[in-house]
Structure 1
């Protein structure tokens, strides 16, 4: 009987396991192999060792893309987590919660290209709706997508708005998993709303926050669609992100080896940041059963 149950278990796991091997593990191994080769995508491959990595570390565009991506990550993650948590806390105890959840989640399932085109119109410095609204308050809006100082914050604003619904729904699920008995006991002791938020909600919500933070870091380092659709990496490569750099090396310059080397560097960066987050989480993540 046990062998039969194990067989059924493996049968149900097989589709996901096969997909993981075919579409994740094998491409990663192929990319790693290709990073040590010179290849234009069509001819024969030539093994050149670490030359692609050396080339990348000496390439100013590599460091420009890495700096832009790090800047974008710093802009997006704290604001995204804080805003989505605030919205989730505000919606947690009001009527019509499902309607607001649907309303906030709609952008998440919208095409990235459509979102980019709409925000290009909103952020247009000459006739965009955002600058028109600011003008009503006597504020001269910047040239959001053509000013080197504002283009990356503009993309960050879009990303924060775009991911708000996704993070908010996860936070709502975490909030609904917190037992009401904690709040009832706190109210008996005379705790204020701020004290309940600080000493009950935030500690017990820390596993959810930890999960969102990890996913946000991974997503931020992989930003591409917004820069590709809205700015094409400009102006003056001010929105030239790391994945855009990988894309350009592979499909514009046809340097598959260099593109693969950059992709492996990105993989290592994301892995290191994830491991650091796991290490730091031991100090601030608390579980209800502890």
Structure 2
């Protein structure tokens, strides 16, 4: 069948049907995105090819000198390795613990709302009070963890304990959000389907592996996507617990960017490092989206 292109009158009629209200409604959000996301991102790209003063203002062009200086430093790649290691630990443990909690809470029973609230409670606590709690737990003298284990370890001042201490706080803070989304996905699985599998002889692990996880794959995909960004952007817990120590063993890219920009006044260096971090997160999320069609099953 041949397709007749629209006439001039039809085009005018379509344009006249376009209403300005939707664009007015999204205008405030777009203005905020432009001011706090798009503009800083473009400015970071520009400043990565320039020198700046201590206030972050442009002084002169230097081309790729900043990139060469940053990328040829072994200390920078040490920080990248620590960043990837911390992100992997946070991502894996946050997802696994949240999934166990969600599976335990899938079936509605008496007092289930109480422990569901307890599982999700960490998401309501800000970084500063959470850090104060964990500093009390990690304290070398009379700390809760040392008292329980009968040890005398400086958890935030010794390596590798410091890295795991920071990761433990990060995991604890992110479990709540992951738990809520996974719980919604698991509870959307049909009870009739699970009961049929049970009658056919499928055990609990088989039902989880072959029914619950595949049917909840959209929620699992979203939780993994959500945790990738948050796993790379751990800052407050590092700043409050270890300040990047001991011997830079807990210094990730976010903290390194903060240190160069705010402490040292090297905004051009921080911009290069920020763009490298953006590239890492972008690459990992693109790999995740490339796998979406193979592992995610939409009903």
Instruction: State the TM-score, normalized to the length of structure 1.
Output: 0.91
For 1:123, the equivalent position in structure 2 comes to: 138
For residue 191 of structure 1, report the CA deviation from its aligned partner. 2.1
Relative to structure 1, the CA distance from residue 142 to residue 6 in structure 2 (aligned partners, 3 Å threshold; closer, same or farther) is farther
For residue 280 of structure 1, report the CA deviation from its aligned partner. 2.2
For 1:18, the equivalent position in structure 2 comes to: 31
Q: Which runs of 5+ in 1 are unaligned?
A: none
For 1:162, the equivalent position in structure 2 comes to: 173
For residue 50 of structure 1, report the CA deviation from its aligned partner. 1.1
Over 4 Å off, 4+ runs: 1-5
Aligned residue among 96, 106, 125 for 2:111: 96
Once the two structures are overlaid, the 10-residue window that deviates more, 179-188 or 227-236, is 179-188
Q: Which has the higher contact order (CA 8 A, sep 6+)?
A: 1
Aligned residue among 39, 46, 51 for 1:33: 46
Relative to structure 1, the CA distance from residue 252 to residue 201 in structure 2 (aligned partners, 3 Å threshold; closer, same or farther) is same
Query: 1-side partners of 2:34 and 2:58: how far apart?
Result: 26
For 1:108, the equivalent position in structure 2 comes to: 123
RMSD: 1.9
For 1:283, the equivalent position in structure 2 comes to: 294
User: How many matched pairs?
Assistant: 284
Aligned residue among 58, 61, 67 for 2:75: 61
- Tell me which structure has the larger Cα radius of gyration: 2
2:93–2:171 CA contact under 8 A, matched in 1: yes
Q: Secondary structure at the match of 2:149?
A: helix
2:79–2:251 CA contact under 8 A, matched in 1: yes
Query: 2-side partners of 1:274 and 1:222: how far apart?
Result: 14
Is 2:200 the counterpart of 1:189? yes
2:141–2:152 CA contact under 8 A, matched in 1: no
For residue 151 of structure 1, report the CA deviation from its aligned partner. 0.7
Q: Secondary structure at the match of 1:92?
A: coil
Query: 1-side partners of 2:281 and 2:193: how far apart?
Result: 37
Query: 2-side partners of 1:128 and 1:80: how far apart?
Result: 24
For residue 4 of structure 1, report the CA deviation from its aligned partner. 6.7
Query: 2-side partners of 1:127 and 1:59: how far apart?
Result: 41
Once the two structures are overlaid, the 10-residue window that deviates more, 6-15 or 195-204, is 6-15
2:170–2:234 CA contact under 8 A, matched in 1: no
1:14-33 per-position Cα deviation (integer Å, ceiling 9, x unaligned): 22222222211111111111
For 1:87, the equivalent position in structure 2 comes to: 101
Is 2:243 the counterpart of 1:232? yes
Query: 2-side partners of 1:47 and 1:219: how far apart?
Result: 33
Query: 1-side partners of 2:19 and 2:91: how far apart?
Result: 42
